[in-house]
Chain A
């Protein structure tokens, strides 16, 4: 058995490995919060059914042929928009969970500034213009297009045939 061999060879190495295994099993068993470098690899494992509505960003994108080979570049743009929209989650995570964890560890609740950060819409528009100009060069005449970008997703509706833009949602 592997661990037995490690134990015979070096007790310290064995102790380290045992600790790693126990922590990984603990994080796996609890199934919620993780502690780097112990993670849960459960992406797309919960039940996911087709929804009526999805988020979509009204962005002038280049031809799909240009986009298809570089999902990283797409991610850079859309993940940034998505994460910006989700910034308020920092607040709830800090208010509900960070304090609780520190209290459980008999520590005082740390200052909010470590965990909460707000960025104004003008800054994210500048960042978005920079990303899109780099990722999709020559796609548009000017990044000015994006000064009108609405930094909130629009609803698209799944009608069992295709996703269509919800014309009733405000732009």
Chain B
């Protein structure tokens, strides 16, 4: 649905389906647009079941930011149930070059990248400006300043990776959501040892995972924050590879700073892990 200008009583209320979108709208919207989470803090977007009060939230929106690539499949049924099928959709993924997903279709984690996020933030600012032309310049300026800050995070990580012998580093991740991030750092993911996150492995799957890590001669494995500790410890002990943890920025509190903070943590974890793996055993 195209984003047509809307009549605004005061501040634009923009629904968001994912934590990164909350941060983006908050930073771009300033005082003219506020981000409204559709998924309550602490709920998992992968298994979200809307409650009546969540439908009431949707009813109050002027627009909604959607991933549209499989990360927020709960949205359309919610809009239908709330009688808001015609709610303007902001689709920052439009025109973003996407990686293929592990199970077909597109990799929906395009928000886990500074460059792809920057493109989406710019797109978001334009779409907000179309909805609310009075504040179009504000959105554009805010997006520009935000992208500049994000870019400095990437620049810092690239600087710290400078001169590393990456041929000594073989990387695996526990799911394919981080492909965008590794790509912009010039790093190759040699193996994805678990295609779906949030899935508790059986003992057999765990043994299989360890075998795959060994077979791929991986010496650096990126797991996820929140993954079962015993699972991670077993992999580390049995495979002998270094472990670092990443976050795909889901669950927990919604804050304007969350995306920057978590992406910095991800970049730091990657640089630290690569440095350690490159240095040898």
User: Are A and B a genuine interacting pair, yes or no?
Assistant: no
